[in-house]
Amino acid sequence: MRHITPTVKHLLIINCIVFAGTYLLGNKDLFYGLLALYYPLSDYFMPWQVFSHMFMHGGYQHLLFNMFALFMFGIAVERVFGQRKFLTLYISSGLGAVALTFIVYYVKIYPSLIELQSLGFSFDFIKEVLKLDILSDRMFQGDILISKLEPILDSFGYTMNQLDVDSFRMLFDLIVTSNGSMVGASGAIMGILVAFGMLNPNAELMMIFLPIPIKAKYFIPGIIGLDLISAFTGVSIFSPSNTAYIAHIGGALTGFLLMYFWKKNQFDKFRWN
């Protein structure tokens, strides 16, 4: 069995402790409300969540998959870089995942925000609507939104007559988009995976459900390509439908950029080892 490196060991321990605490202390909703990453327009968003969400996981399978990948690839990468540079790569990749996720989120909601404000609805009104809980049986319900909208419209001096089908749909879609959350170390893990592939391009890797050895220089771009397809089409190929594909791509891109920078400057103070 390979000797585990210090930073990988500590990250494994921290992730497992946070996961156990979330489920064993009996208040899972409180932990998720505080530590999962919510979008900036959500009432649940807090600045520390850009870090804390990396140590939260949605279930034991999610945790096991990420920790297995960290163990398998992180040890080899940390041996090359050392503790500080490895941790920099890990945290930076996680933050890169957040940055790209927020950029895509902004691109998705910005046109609706501008359109609603052009129709006379204030930004404060829109933010108030986004706080509404319209979930029933884990589904967002339009009829619940209708029943809860009228008091808010009245408080801002608007009427239901000002809402047409299109503006109602935009408000509904904004609620759905803004009230999701993200947990997991996947973005950071993708950065580590890219680093491993760039350090060991000819290493042979296999998927559990596809036991065919494939060189890392083909395997890892293939995984990223599948994430791109899923992100643009919404079709989940090998992973659950609620997977944060954009976060995967953001983590992988950050890992690549760091590796490129370190390799380019390998003969000065930023060198690889």
pLDDT values of the chain reduced to their tens digit, one per residue, 273 residues: 458 999 999 999 999 999 888 877 766 777 888 899 998 888 888 999 999 999 998 888 889 999 999 999 999 999 999 999 999 999 999 999 999 999 998 888 899 999 999 988 999 999 888 888 887 776 788 888 888 888 899 998 888 888 888 999 999 988 888 877 889 899 999 999 999 999 988 888 776 656 778 888 888 888 888 888 877 776 666 555 567 889 999 999 999 999 988 887 665 554 444
The domain limits of the chain are 6-104+182-264, 109-178
Q: Output the pLDDT for position 273.
A: 47
State which CATH number among 1.10.600.10, 3.60.21.10, 1.20.1540.10, 3.40.50.300 fits the domain covering 6-104+182-264: 1.20.1540.10
Q: What's the CA gap between 34 and 43, in Å, rounded?
A: 11
Q: How many residues comprise the chain?
A: 273
What is the pTM (predicted TM-score) of this model? 0.84
| Residue reference for tokens 């790209």 | 100
- Per the CB < 8 A criterion, the answer to whether 115 and 272 are in contact is no
Q: What's the CA gap between 193 and 207, in Å, rounded?
A: 14
Q: What's the CA gap between 158 and 160, in Å, rounded?
A: 7
Q: Output the pLDDT for position 47.
A: 93
Q: Output the pLDDT for position 140.
A: 81
List pLDDT tens digits, range 191-245.
999 999 999 888 887 766 567 788 888 888 888 888 888 777 766 665 555 678 8
